[in-house]
Copies of this chain bind each other. A is one copy, B any other.
């Protein structure tokens, strides 16, 4: 049986952390949306491209849907629009003709690289304000929080752990 003692300091910290974490989550998504809009992408499209860029050999629609936390019916539309713009390719799998192999095109690879370069540049501006120790501490705490968050999602199988 876990310790149910009421710790007023814990309660007060959690209230603050809840508020900041919620605002940060919403603001980050918003900033991401603005950042990638400059490249003509939506957030779900970018999530799919990120998953594909971690899988050089490509992914099936089901793998992509799992990795993006989307239904495969939704994935179809997202990939349709990326194929139209020649950002990804759709190929039949000769071994199992039911399944498809989705992969980044050359211009898709270039696009995602550009976006990630821009993101790294921005993050570097922020994190050079912190000491090496603080950066490690932040990484450790964020990773812990990420793990508990992922544990609460169904089927969250990152393609690259």
The reply to whether A149 and B24 contact each other, CB–CB distance below 8 Å, is yes
Find residues 103-126 in chain A having any chain B CB closer than 8 Å to their own CB. 116, 119-120, 122-124, 126
Complex CA–CA separation, A29 to B146 (angstroms): 12
Find residues 69-86 in chain A having any chain B CB closer than 8 Å to their own CB. 69
The reply to whether A137 and B135 contact each other, CB–CB distance below 8 Å, is no
Complex CA–CA separation, A24 to B141 (angstroms): 11
The reply to whether A137 and B139 contact each other, CB–CB distance below 8 Å, is no
Q: How far apart are A85's CB and chain B's nearest CB, in angstroms?
A: 22
The reply to whether A158 and B17 contact each other, CB–CB distance below 8 Å, is no
| Interface 9-mer from A7-15, A58-66, A90-98 | A7-15
Residues of A within 8 A of B (CB): 3, 7, 9-11, 13-18, 20-32, 34, 47, 50, 69, 116, 119-120, 122-124, 126-130, 132, 134-139, 141-146, 148-150, 152-153, 156, 158
Shortest Cβ-Cβ A-B pairs, 9 listed: A25-B28, A13-B135, A24-B146, A138-B141, A27-B149, A18-B123, A20-B142, A14-B123, A126-B148
